């Protein structure tokens, strides 16, 4: 990982999102903005934040890059804490069928859905997946994303799950973005286990999970807890085994049918529960009490033409709410942060401030990294984005268009 020395000079608004842990609903509106401020970055870390005039010549002599941010706002890099960006093949026909009225689960029950991407991913080589992974990360970076979570789950067998995770490991080593890997082996029932999901969970626990852990290929384990996919009991069994082997937990919960995935996330102490379109009031309360980050994915609801998750209820219940894209080849083929911001602010009743918090420090909390990234604080990674306008209020106002001008990762300019 390369690390730079730089000064970002005189930002009109330094939107710090300051904090070292996730922000609860009542804290999410306070962006902790410093006006006319500069940031000094040393060895990839934020060294100093100041409103004083900086004597540039000595820094220039030491080789610091100086970026003039006069008239611009500067934010922490966005954290996209839920994606499935490693996959082979596409499912453009399924989107077309959905536009014509078919449901996501209906397409799945007819043999479409995740299983189609499994075939494409099993057939793809490591190099194919790596090359498309690079292109997708580059696209995310242009939207101001500096850390990305990525899930396996298009293999459903030992070799392909490991291949997906190894691609992410390599990308994390080589690409300037950070990639946080999640093992999502139980993402769908493969054909051979269509009627025997319990046996598939056994296979995942006994044959795949130990290899993932032994090779140190994942930080998180995740499961698709959904009617006709994996039940709450099966989810509990898989996630408990993963936790016992040292992985942190995430869960695809209460997306289409209210099964109680939210409550399970609280019971198991998951770091986050994701989707939650159908989460009950009780589920929301239990996630708040257990400090589970509630990650909502509005682009998926939009793409599936489902009702949005109850973001306001979660914020008002004082949950730590994060927003992420869910970029994947089926339910949500978009990595667009501008679309996500448009939906959160215009369709879900989130304030602009809550939306930015959900995409920065709370995204970091959803990855267990709020002490290192997600805000502009001394000691944190210098993952910073310069937007072309003087205020963060332009971010939703320029509807569905990116305002990102420059992206800095570990003090190195990666997008200019
Ligand atoms: O998060 N819901 C389950 N998994 C993905 C969809 C993956 C796919 O359709 O390929 C999701 O929406
Ligand atoms: Fe997902």
Same structural domain for residues 265 and 408? no
Judge whether 313 lies within some domain: yes
Share above pLDDT 90 across residues of the chain, in percent, rounded to a whole number: 99
How many domains, in total, are found in the chain? 2
Quote ipTM for the complex: 0.97
Ligand 1 pocket mutation, candidates 277, 331, 366, criterion most atoms within 8 A of CB: 331
Residues 30 and 107 in one domain: no
Q: By C-alpha distance, which of 220, 222, 248, 219 is closest to 235?
A: 222
User: In terms of domains, do 252 and 166 share one?
Assistant: yes
Domain boundaries, position 62: 6-76+372-415
Q: Which residues line ligand 1 (CB under 6 A)?
A: 84, 113-114, 117, 224, 252, 255, 300, 326, 328-332
- 385 touches 408 (CB < 8 A): yes
Q: Single out the residue in 308, 335, 362 at which a domain terminates.
A: 335
User: Do 70 and 162 have their domain in common?
Assistant: no
Q: Are residues 200 and 287 in the same domain?
A: yes
Q: Which residues are annotated as a binding site for 4-imidazolone-5-propanoate?
A: 91, 154, 187, 255, 331
Residue 97, number of CB atoms within 10 A of its CB: 17
365, part of any domain: no
* Cross-strand pairs, 251: 273
Domain presence at residue 340:
no
Query: Residues annotated as binding site for Fe(3+)?
Result: 82, 84, 252, 326
In angstroms, how far is CA 293 from the centroid of its own chain? 12
Are 348 and 312 in contact by the 8 Å Cβ rule? The answer is: yes
Q: Which protein residues have their CB within 5 A of the ion that is ligand 2?
A: 326
Closest residue by CA, ligand 1 atom 5: 331
CATH number at residue 134: 3.20.20.140
- Tell me the mean pLDDT in the region 165-172: 98
Q: Are residues 377 and 247 in the same domain?
A: no
- Per-residue pLDDT averaged across 21-47, rounded? 98
Taking the CA of residue 114 as reference, the ligand 1 atom at the shortest distance is 10
139 and 216 housed in the same domain: yes
The model's pLDDT over 136-145, given as tens digits with 9 standing for 90+, comes to 999 999 999 9
When pLDDT is averaged across residues 357-371 and rounded to a whole number, the result is: 99
pLDDT at 113 over 90: yes
What's the pLDDT tens digit per position in 295-331?
999 999 999 999 999 999 999 999 999 999 999 999 9
Domain assignment present for residue 354? The answer is no
Q: Tell whether 364 is covered by a domain.
A: no
* CA 136–ligand 1 middle distance (angstroms): 17
Which of 288, 315, 335 delimits the end of a domain? 335
Same domain? For 62 and 139 the reply is no
Q: Residue 385 — very low, low, confident or very high, per pLDDT cuts 50/70/90?
A: very high
Same domain, 321 and 376: no
Mean of per-residue pLDDT scores for the chain? 98
Q: Cβ-count burial of 190 within 10 angstroms (0-12 exposed, 13-18 middle, 19+ buried)?
A: middle
**What is the domain-level CATH number for residue 32?**
2.30.40.10
Binding site as annotated, residues: 82, 84, 91, 154, 187, 252, 255, 326, 328, 330-331
Residue 114 lies in a domain: yes
**Orientation of helix 114-123 relative to helix 158-174, angle to 10°:** 70
**Residue 41 forms beta bridges with which residues?**
6, 46
Which residue's alpha carbon is at the smallest distance from atom 3 of ligand 1? 224
**Does one domain contain both 65 and 92?**
no
CB count in 10 Å sphere of residue 30: 13
Confidence at residue 317, expressed as pLDDT on a 0 to 100 scale: 98
Residues 239 and 129 in one domain: yes
98 in the same domain as 59: no
> Which domain-ending residue is among 315, 335, 355?
335
Q: What was the pLDDT predicted at 111?
A: 86
Residue 366 is assigned to a structural domain of this protein: no
């Amino acid at each position: 990982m390369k690390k730079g020395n730089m000064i970002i000079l005189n930002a009109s608004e330094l939107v710090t999102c300051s904090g070292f842990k996730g922000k609860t609903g009542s804290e999410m509106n306070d962006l902790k903005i410093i006006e006319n401020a500069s940031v000094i970055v040393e060895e990839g870390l934020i060294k100093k934040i100041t409103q004083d005039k900086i004597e540039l010549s000595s820094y220039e002599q030491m080789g610091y890059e100086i970026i003039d941010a006069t008239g611009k706002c500067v934010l922490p890099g966005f954290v996209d804490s839920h994606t499935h960006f490693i996959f082979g093949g596409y499912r453009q026909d399924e989107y077309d069928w959905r536009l014509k009225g078919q449901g996501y689960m209906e397409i799945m029950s007819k043999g479409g859905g995740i299983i189609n991407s499994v075939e494409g991913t099993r057939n793809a080589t490591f190099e194919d997946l790596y090359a498309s992974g690079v292109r997708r990360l580059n696209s995310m970076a242009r939207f101001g994303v500096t850390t990305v979570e990525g899930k396996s789950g298009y293999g459903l067998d030992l070799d392909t799950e490991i291949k997906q995770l190894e691609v992410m490991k390599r990308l994390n080593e080589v690409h300037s973005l950070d990639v946080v890997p999640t093992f999502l082996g139980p993402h769908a029932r493969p054909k051979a286990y269509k009627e025997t999901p319990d046996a598939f969970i056994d296979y995942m626990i006994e044959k795949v999970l130990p290899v993932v852990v032994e090779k140190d290929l994942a930080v998180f384990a995740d499961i698709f807890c959904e009617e006709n996919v994996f039940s709450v009991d099966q989810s509990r069994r898989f996630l408990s085994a993963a936790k016992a082997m040292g992985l942190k937990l995430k869960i695809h919960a209460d997306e289409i049918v209210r099964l109680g995935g939210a409550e399970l996330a609280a019971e198991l102490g998951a770091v986050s529960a994701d989707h939650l379109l159908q989460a009950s009031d009780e589920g929301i309360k239990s996630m708040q009490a257990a400090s589970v980050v509630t990650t909502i994915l509005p682009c998926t609801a939009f793409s599936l033409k489902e009702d949005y998750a109850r973001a306001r209820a979660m914020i008002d219940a004082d949950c730590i709410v994060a927003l992420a894209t869910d970029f994947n080849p089926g339910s949500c083929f978009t990595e667009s942060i501008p679309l996500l911001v448009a939906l959160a602010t215009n369709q879900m009743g989130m304030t602009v401030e809550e939306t930015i918090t959900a995409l920065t420090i709370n995204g970091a909390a959803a990855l267990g990294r709020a002490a290192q990234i997600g805000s502009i604080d001394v000691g944190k990674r210098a993952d910073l984005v310069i937007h072309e306008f003087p205020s963060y209020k332009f971010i939703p106002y320029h509807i569905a268009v990116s305002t990102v001008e420059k992206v800095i990762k570990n003090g190195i300019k990666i997008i200019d």
